[in-house]
Structure 1
Amino acid sequence: MNCPRCGSPNSVTNDPTNSGNQNFKCRDCHRQFVQNPRHQPISEETKELIDRL
């Protein structure tokens, strides 16, 4: 499992989330993440469209 922030393959399993998904932690940048997140970040294009509206 590669870290979404730094791309490092050095990640370990961490405690599961409240919804039951397995949590991972990057050993290099210490970010916590799940394998298949339900919520994706909003793209810059969408943010610009919202600002124009």
Structure 2
Amino acid sequence: VRYHFVREILEEDDINLLKIHTSENPADMLTKVVSGVKFAHCKDLLQILQVN
């Protein structure tokens, strides 16, 4: 049932699915252990700024 729902909304152009490479996926910092460099890159992708 879920498969058909997803297939239908894709066919009707209600949503677009895009492949996002892991090096450009900011959600990685929430789901994986990442290095400090990768964490900083993810923060930049999300435009997270430190406020004092």
> TM-score, structure 2 length as denominator?
0.23
Q: Over alpha carbons, which structure has the higher Rg?
A: 2
TM-score where L is the length of structure 1: 0.23
Higher helix proportion, which one? 2
